[in-house]
Chains A and B, each alone.
Chain A
Amino acid sequence: MGIGEDRPRVDGLDKLRGAAAYVDDLRVEGVLHGATVRTPAARGRITRIHFDPGIPWNEYVIVDHRDVPGKNHVASIETDQPALVETEFRHKYEPVLLLAHRSPAALRKGVQGVRLEYEPLPAVEDPLAGLTSDRIQHGPDNVFKRIDIRKGDVNAAFARAAHVIEGEYRTGAQEHAYIEPQGMLATSGPDGVTVRGSMQCPYYVLKSLCAALGRSEREVRVIQTATGGAFGGKEDYPSVIAIHAALLALKAGAPVKIIYDRQEDMAATTKRHPSWVRHRTAIDEAGRLIGVEIEVVMDAGAYVTLSPVVLSRGVLHALGPYACENVHIHGEARLTNSPPYGAFRGFGAPQTLFALERHMDAIARRLGLDPAEFRRRNLLRDGDRMATGQVYRDGVDLTRLMDDALEHAAYAQRREEFKRFNASHPYLRRGIAQATFMHGAGFTGSGETMLASEVWVEGHADGTVEVLTANTEMGQGAFTVLAQVAVDTLGVKNEQVKVAVPDTHRVPNSGPTVASRTTMVVGKLVERACLDLAAVVDGVAGRSFSEKIRAWHQAHPGERLVGRAKYKTPPEIHWDDATYQGDAYPCYAWATYVATVEVDLRTYGVQVTDFVASQEVGRVINPTLARGQIQGGVAQAIGWAILENVVLKDGAMANTQFANYIIPTSNDLPPIRVFFEEQPTPYGPGGAKGIGELPMDGPAPAVINAVCDALQTSIHEIPLTPERLMEHLDGADHD
């Protein structure tokens, strides 16, 4: 057993008992508390820093940009984001000064006692607005990244089209709202600097710490603590807090803990990129897509951070699971003076798939076709080429997958039933609709090749096996799943395998915990490292694998017994970064989600009353964990679609509380009914594909399509709050 076993998660009981140690649960003798003084406006130049003379500043440790021993930047794809502002700043809540004090109460007074005087500079609020020269802050035009994907002859296709249908779609920012806010604890000693905290990617944190502190990887150590949710929000921002905590600890000569409270976390950390997508589609007499033009603009915020790769995943998913021979997709990530938008589950794909799947329903309505029938005519079939020329050969029958999902949701019956209901009810309207989509697993394009991830599996002298990776448990179940892969591959008992807590002095760099890559890519490396280990002890005498390990150690005292695996690009995978042609992802997970909604015309409230999530994900390694990933992603995406409204003021989030940023409660959601189809892929352990992000992609278009079905209208923007729906219905042509 192992793969396929419905094993309770290995970290579950500790978490339920309150025994799991998150960063703010660590007790450290003599710890100081750290806090951040932030910029008060969207863009400007600091002219003076005023310290309240009534505060005993000699009790405080104060750090500014002059205390950065290495490079004053947060090393990411680029190095444009400063660790601490020197003079000019590009967004509200940018860090300028760091304070530390033994008393949290005194620390709060200190932060309030610093006033920044500044000269304002013209800011960019809207990435679609025209630029004036005094607003240019990056390159010639504030564009961080441009991507162009071309196939066939789009102009010729539009010239012979029976129908040309256009649409513009917008999505709003989204806050991750992990329940544990961000935090880091730094200590410095003769061995170097150690940072512990809540994070997804220990080696990202390590890289940025080494750059800012001017130290080598041997002098800096990063250890993950139990992480209370992340969803991409703890992919890049933890590097900022880690640098800050380390700077304070170095200056103080004492351990320093920085723990954000909810309001600071929402105000200062990353969000999902707001997007604008325009579709122009040529369709022939038979209802087939013959030409597609898609333009994508993502609001990247004030620094480059991860936006180029978010844009990349966005444009690569923009045509979804459909076949079309003539395609032009153009994407841009543009600067605005907002806190940088960052990684968030789905990573650009939910935005472009919202536009696509809304547009597919809009087209079907214009053509007078059932949206399912219109999709049936256009879904990829074996041998079809996707937008980048990648040949579709997953062997998944997408039409059958879609039809099965519709069957689970009683789509045909409900459509008839709702027609009658809507015609007679005074104020309730019911609708049912779907989204069909996919999510590429693993890093985009040549990403995995460049990462060259490495995994070790160590056999210890007591006969146990330890899986050593840099991949973090943040709630998604990585530790349990990776253990199951090792148990399955080695044929040992569950109790004999443990997964190491990521610690950059102990584990190899197996890459970041992002991009739906841990189960599939890292899991495959765990499988291979286990086989490598098994080969070493192959000839050793022993009745069980544990006995063989013990016997090996007896014969090799003091030596380590380690199986290793390093990522190798499969020879059949080809990708060209220059032309954006080739295999964008080694494989995809495929899905159709069906939402049933009820709209109350008195309150303009939308209630999702049933949700079917049906997907093909390769082999399911742990049914309960996999189902939990899907249900959680669906809930988060329903929130994005109808509840979660980031209100921007001076480019930054103004509603930084759970009281006014509304995420779904148990009472806002129906049971989410999950169905898996399993077609093993050669790229994952036991045939598993990545699934973490998939469920974020489909629910928003499915729910909004269902609202459009209920109200016989076309909605182009989310979040669809009651206020927005009211304005839409007051001003809309009901088509």
Chain B
Amino acid sequence: MTDLDLSFTLNGKPVRLHVRPDARLLDVLRYDCGCTGTKEGCGEGECGACTVLLDGLPVNSCLVPAFQVAGRSVETVEAVAPEVTGPLNRTGTAQCGACSPGIVVMTRWLREHPEVLQDATLRQFMSGNLCRCTGYDSVISGVASVLDPKETAGGEGTSA
């Protein structure tokens, strides 16, 4: 297979690469661009660990052929602001950390699109990001505290 020329914007900066026609966006980000914050958990769009924003919309980068991002904008966990990661850290959102980048990217997106929560609960919305460590309480309270900084850390599921 002949490599393709691929140009896109990654975290605000232009990127130009040669990639295989069957390359996944996930691998191009991780191994060609050095953005290893994006993780592979399942390779089939089930776990959400590889979530990135493509033209501002969350996608599972393991399911996106790299050539499809030509001329478009990709943002990864490396571009997320401390206003998102700080509150998540205080509620214990990250344990092993393998799902965390996907959760961080989704949280950033929710922060920019709070209107979607009119039709879904946080638990429904975050159900595309599998976490095996936390039981989700600390994730949900973390996301809630990012969306509403007045909300005290802890929130649901915390007692005693």
Contact = CB atoms under 8 A, between A and B. Distances in A.
A185 to B, nearest CB: 13
Given A16-B89, A658-B46, A666 B126 contact: yes
A663 B135 contact: no
B104 A16 contact: yes
A13 B36 CA distance: 15
Interface size class of chain A, counting residues whose CB lies under 8 Å from the partner chain: 35 or more
A665 B127 contact: yes
A27 B34 CA distance: 9
A24 B133 CA distance: 20
A658 B44 contact: yes
Among B22, B44, B159: residue with most chain A CB under 10 A:
B159
A231 interface: yes
A624 B96 contact: no
A19 to B, nearest CB: 7
Interface stretch (A133-141, A173-181, A521-529, A559-567): A173-181
Contacts of A408: 159
Nearest to A20: B97
A671 B76 contact: no
Contacts of B35: 18
Contacts of A229: 95-96, 98, 132-133
B34 A624 contact: no
A658 B130 contact: yes
Interface stretch (A208-216, A308-316, A599-607, A628-636): A628-636
Contacts of A179: 39, 41, 47, 49, 96, 98-99, 130-132
Contacts of B76: 18
A425 interface: no
Contacts, number: 201
Contacts of B30: 24-25
A22 B49 CA distance: 14
B100 interface: yes
A179 B62 CA distance: 14
B159 A674 contact: yes
Interface in B2-25: 20, 22
Contacts of B158: 627, 673-674
Interface in A254-268: 261-263
Contacts of B127: 665-668
Interface residues on B, range: 35 or more
Contacts of B136: 631, 635, 664-666, 669
B93 to A, nearest CB: 7
Contacts of B101: 16, 18
Interface stretch (A123-131, A287-295, A474-482): A474-482
A16 B93 contact: yes
A657 interface: yes
Interface string A2-37: 000000110111111111111011010000000000
29 contacts: A8-B90, A9-B92, A11-B94, A12-B93, A15-B96, A16-B89, A17-B78, A18-B78, A22-B98, A177-B132, A178-B132, A179-B47, A181-B41, A228-B39, A474-B96, A475-B95, A624-B138, A628-B133, A632-B132, A632-B133, A636-B132, A657-B46, A658-B44, A658-B130, A665-B130, A667-B123, A672-B137, A672-B157, A674-B157
CB-based closest 10 A-B pairs: A18-B37, A475-B96, A15-B97, A228-B98, A631-B135, A635-B135, A658-B46, A179-B98, A671-B157, A475-B95
Given A179-B41, A179-B47, A631-B134, 15 more contacts: A9-B94, A12-B93, A18-B104, A21-B36, A105-B22, A408-B159, A628-B92, A628-B133, A635-B136, A657-B42, A658-B130, A666-B122, A667-B127, A669-B135, A671-B156
